[in-house]
Amino acid sequence: MNNISKNIKVLSFAILCVGLTIVGCKKYDNPPPVFEELDNSDRVIQRKVLVISIDGVTGSELNTIAPPIITDLAKTGKYTYNVLRGAVTTDASSWVSMLTGTSYSKHQIKDDVTFRRPPADDEHGAVVYYRNVLDYVMQYKSIKTAFVTPWSQLRGYMKQADYAPNVSTDIAVKDSTINLLNTSNSLGAVIVNFKDVQTAGLAGSFTASNAGYKAAILKSDEYVGNILTALKARKNYAAEDWLVIVTTNHGGSEADSKPGFIVLSNKNFKGQEVKKSGFNTVLFNNTSINASVPNDNGLYDSGSSKDFTVQMQVKFNSLTSYPGFLSKGSNLDLSKMTGWLFMETGSNWAAVLGGTGNGGTGKTQINGGAIGDLQWHTLTMTVKTVNATTRTVSTYTDGNLNATANISNTKSLATTEKLTLGYKNVDNGGGALNFHGADLIYFNTALDAATIKANIALKDITKHPNYANVTGYWPINEGGEGLATNAAPGGYDMFLNGGFTWKGLGIDVPASVTPDANATGKSIIVTPATITAAAMYWLKIPILPEFGIDGNPVLNQFEVEFLK
């Protein structure tokens, strides 16, 4: 490239940056852009990226069907059939996570029509905006971009692509992609979207047993093969190094989403299924971080006579007094509260119950055991209605009974408060709360002391003698995204709120978790945000902290295979 043309490119980029600043985009102190030759001469191997999303493909069902092209790609790819689903899984929210590398908790876009973030509570506050992957490509690379989808609203969201053909069917998506690969030598970042699989799933079910769903997956797989054939037939293919990503926006439907899949393939990669290793849980370390059930439809409301048991694994990382850390009730204001909560009392814990809002007495505090050694402990509370005048509550630490009390004077524990893991205000104290939680279980019966003692270290919840009574089970071991998934047959997921972080604790596990022998190896958490992170990594675009990208690039843990 001669100096004149190079200067023109730099000047053009400067003008673009001025334009972005005028409309209010944040200025970043970024490294200079990397301009590469467009003619892809034989002396330069240029990295490029092709992303193909087949919407609605569930990872487990893809594994069952084993379509030939995608299965073959996995032989030279890093892949998983268990991409974590986001806290909100509309088509829009999933695609925005894929394209910006951020989780829903940050971008908060879920409307399939407008692709707009809801208005902020403070109308004068800063506008929150996360750039998409093609925006980064435009800034840092001198390659052409393409976005091919039959979904017009998504195409509008990605309007800055160099090529965005107006197509309305999957077969047109395939044909247009092939045409672009055949005609544009400078093409280097391509995103392709197929929708027929999702349509077939909605018409029947998102399972391999649904003939229409299976046929749609196989047809999309055929289209992937057609596109790969065109890719390899490119005039400059020998001077190009393509990363091919095949994935899905989410498994299943918007209303009932399942884990998806991803294959990151390159001719130099060794085939390997990537997995999470060790124990990865949430750090609850301030007053705004919590996990809660938005609406349980009364399932976890214990009322005036329901029996129940709540059990969880807890490790406190520091000792403080009077923060609530697990609750289905109101804040505790001196002696007034409705519902129940667990609270930290220095080196011990306690359960507090009250029915002030229901005409009953204020708090009844039942002490628990010691938790001051900063190790994992199993905390259990049972509530049992014996008769009209006796309703007992008992607390246990590591299966050992601490105390029992009669709470019949509380009248009722009924409350509209959410079942919440995380800070609850107790007399305006406890701001230094800092703990990890795991294996939270809710039983709709009061377990007896012997059953509690015998099962505090149970590794498989399905083997519990009262498994039929489990109405909520949250392992809290996902390692990413904003969802604590309910693994019980019934019940509800918990949604994470606040500036939460997931921490890999390796083999530092509670009694109910089996230590992972591979915990010292590569623990790879794959989420929809991985798409942008992996694409940027492959294109050698810096992933700067101010970009806010949450996705795991994945490939940076396997560089020995392709960096020569």
pLDDT band at 554 (very low <50, low <70, confident <90, very high): very high
Under DSSP, is residue 37 helix (H, G, I), strand (E, B) or coil? coil
pLDDT digits (tens, 9 = 90+) for 281-334: 999 999 999 999 999 999 999 999 999 999 999 999 999 999 999 999 999 998
Could you tell me which CATH class the domain 280-506 is placed in? mainly beta
Q: Which residues contact 88 (CB under 8 A, 6 or more apart)?
A: 104, 110
pLDDT digits (tens, 9 = 90+) for 381-440: 999 999 999 999 999 999 999 999 999 999 999 999 999 999 999 998 888 999 999 999
Helix, strand, coil shares of the chain, percent, nearest 5, are 25, 30, 45
Domain ranges of the chain: 45-275+524-561, 280-506
pLDDT digits (tens, 9 = 90+) for 137-193: 999 999 999 999 999 999 999 999 999 999 999 999 999 999 999 999 999 999 999
**Amino acid letter for position 301:** D
Q: In what order do the strands lie in the sheet with 187-194?
A: 144-148, 187-194, 46-54, 240-247, 260-265, 77-83, 272-273
Question: Would the CATH topology of 45-275+524-561 be identical to that of 280-506?
Answer: no
- On whether the CB atoms of residues 562 and 537 are closer than 8 A, the answer is no
Take residue 194 and report the two structure tokens written for it.
């197929």
* Helical (H) or strand (E) element with 313: strand 308-316
CA distances from 285 to 334, 417, 423, 435, 502 (A): 24, 21, 9, 6, 11
Determine the CATH number of domain 45-275+524-561. 3.40.720.10
Backbone angles phi, psi at 285, to 5 degrees: -130, 20
- pLDDT of 451: 98
Q: Locate tokens 């509550």: which residue?
A: 393
Cα dihedral 204, 205, 209, 212 in deg (nearest 10): 40
What is the overall mean pLDDT for the chain? Answer: 91
- How far apart are alpha carbons 413 and 421 in whole angstroms? 18
Q: Which residues contact 469 (CB under 8 A, 6 or more apart)?
A: 443, 444, 445
Backbone angles phi, psi at 399, to 5 degrees: 85, 0
- On whether the CB atoms of residues 81 and 261 are closer than 8 A, the answer is yes
Q: What is the CA radius of gyration of the chain?
A: 27
pLDDT band at 124 (very low <50, low <70, confident <90, very high): low
Under DSSP, is residue 555 helix (H, G, I), strand (E, B) or coil? helix
